[in-house]
Chains A and B, each alone.
Chain A
């Protein structure tokens, strides 16, 4: 079946360092969504990318959708302690069900 993998599984950074998580799908996606889940919380929708090669920015966060629409990345510039949490990508499967990636847990040390 379709799989959505993310790397790394876990990353620990010093506050102020940059962070990137990568998302790879086994199949082409019509769109890619990113969610953030704080420890003990629920996933919160961040953004959706639709076009091949699309790049979107939200303050210190930069999201990119690959040219082949099979991969995506999330880059955070100058991390802050408020960035702590697990970042998930998600994309629609062949029957349009949303499939979540394995997630990347970000820890930020002050």
Chain B
């Protein structure tokens, strides 16, 4: 039973560039949420996708966008990267939308130079 998988594991970008991160949810899960975790802090909710639509959004600018595909996998896109976007980006899946217990992937470590 595959858990949540994310790619890539690490990524280095420069300011102003764009990045796409990918996530496949745990088998049987239909909801994907994305979190940003800065060093030494708790995960911060970015947004949640269910039935291919963004259902909830945290306090993040429009530079952060996403998509969910019919097979429930998801992408996180960040445009016009800033130094402050350097963080661990975590994807989590759950069954049904809302605040259900989250199953996290290993994350993508994004570094902005």
Same assembly: yes
A→B interface (CB under 8 Å): 1, 30-31, 33, 35, 41-45, 48, 88, 90-92, 95-103
Indicate if the CB atoms of B101 and A45 lie closer than 8 Å. yes
Indicate if the CB atoms of B42 and A98 lie closer than 8 Å. no
Indicate if the CB atoms of A42 and B90 lie closer than 8 Å. yes
Indicate if the CB atoms of B90 and A92 lie closer than 8 Å. no
Known: A42-B106, A95-B56. A100 touches B44 (CB 8 A): yes
Task: Count how many pairs of residues, one from A and one from B, have CB atoms less than 8 Å apart in the complex.
Answer: 53
Return the chain B residue nearest A6 by Cβ: B42
Chain B 22-41 against A: per-residue CB contact (8 Å), 1 yes, 0 no?
A: 00000000000101000001
In the bound complex, CA of A97 to CA of B43 (Å): 12
CB distance from B25 to the nearest CB of A (A): 14
**Residue B103 lies at the interface, judged by CB distance under 8 Å to chain A:** yes
15 A–B pairs (Cβ distance < 8 Å), ordered by A: A1-B59, A31-B99, A33-B101, A41-B106, A42-B107, A43-B104, A45-B102, A48-B101, A90-B42, A90-B102, A91-B99, A92-B98, A100-B42, A100-B44, A102-B41
Chain B 73-92 against A: per-residue CB contact (8 Å), 1 yes, 0 no?
A: 00000000000000000100
CB distance from A94 to the nearest CB of B (A): 11
- Find chain A residues with CB under 8 A from B35 CB: 100
CB distance from B52 to the nearest CB of A (A): 19
- Find chain A residues with CB under 8 A from B41 CB: 102-103
- The interface size of chain B toward A, counting residues with CB under 8 Å, comes to 21
- Find chain B residues with CB under 8 A from A95 CB: 56
In the bound complex, CA of A8 to CA of B100 (Å): 26
In the bound complex, CA of A10 to CA of B37 (Å): 18
In the bound complex, CA of A90 to CA of B92 (Å): 14
